[in-house]
């Protein structure tokens, strides 16, 4: 039995990400990955059972990294605006510094892999955010609302700004570059919409 080589495994993951983002799930194959990573196809099966195992493994890893980044310095007991500010900064920082990974993660979220990849990640997220929102509502800092409404108002504006940045253009093809100024201007408007 061959031994796992961590360096080689990282190369395989990186090449898999690049191929999955550029060619999608349908265009991706273990054979193509072996060629791109300059390894034998048999080597891939040291690390992964099959294509699905590889996709889910990488998806879970990115999901965990995203969760850790989102909650870095976040206190569920914090005041609503303070907690949201930490969330926005953390989300923006991670997404800007991991564009390839986030493009792949979006593919996962829009695929049949979604449930399998996000199951264990969602539990931790729900727990921390439930405490945060419960406290904010009890302190009368934010209006009670369905989670779908909250999510659409609280995070969609940030995600749209980051998407514009990733594409290099906004509505109508206008050039766009994400900035702290634009992020916090948008954040202030979101806070006005959500707070009591």
pLDDT tens-digit map of 81-134: 999 999 999 999 999 999 999 999 999 999 999 998 988 788 889 999 999 999
Instruction: Mention every residue, 6+ apart, whose C-beta is less than 8 A from residue 105.
Output: 59, 62, 63, 66
Tens digits of residue pLDDT in 5-57: 889 999 999 999 999 999 999 999 999 999 999 999 999 999 999 999 999 99
Using alpha carbons only, what angle is made at residue 122 by residues 117 and 123, rounded to the nearest 5 degrees?
Answer: 125
The pLDDT, as a whole number, for residue 5 is 83
For the chain, the farthest-separated pair of C-alpha atoms sits apart, in whole angstroms, at 62
Flag whether pLDDT at 2 surpasses 70. Answer: no
Q: Alpha-carbon distance 67 to 56, whole Å?
A: 16
What is the per-residue pLDDT for 119? 84
Q: Which residues of 30-49 are buried (b: 16+ CB within 10 A; e: fewer)?
A: eeebbeebebeeebbebbbe
The C-alpha atoms of residue 16 and residue 33 are separated, in whole angstroms, by 6
Which residues face 175 on adjacent strands?
A: 169
Sequence spans of domains, the chain: 75-194
d(CA 70, CA 127): 14
């Amino acid at each position: 039995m061959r031994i796992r080589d961590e360096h080689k495994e990282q190369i395989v993951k990186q090449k898999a990400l690049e191929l999955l983002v550029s060619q999608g799930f349908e265009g991706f194959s273990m054979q193509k990955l072996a060629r791109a990573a300059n390894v034998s196809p048999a080597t891939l099966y040291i690390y992964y059972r099959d294509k699905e195992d590889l996709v889910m493994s990488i998806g879970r890893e990115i999901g965990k990294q995203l969760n850790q980044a989102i909650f870095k310095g976040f206190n569920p007991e914090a005041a609503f605006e303070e907690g949201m500010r930490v969330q926005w900064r953390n989300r923006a920082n991670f997404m800007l510094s991991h564009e390839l990974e986030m493009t792949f993660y979006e593919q996962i979220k829009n695929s049949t892999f979604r449930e399998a990849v996000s199951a264990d990640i969602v539990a931790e997220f729900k727990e921390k955010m439930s405490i945060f929102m419960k406290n904010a509502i009890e302190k009368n800092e934010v209006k009670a609302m369905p989670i779908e409404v909250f999510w659409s108002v609280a995070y969609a504006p940030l995600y749209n700004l980051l998407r514009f940045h990733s594409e290099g253009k906004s509505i109508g093809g206008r050039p766009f570059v994400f900035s702290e100024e634009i992020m916090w201007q948008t954040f202030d408007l979101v806070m006005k919409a959500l707070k009591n």
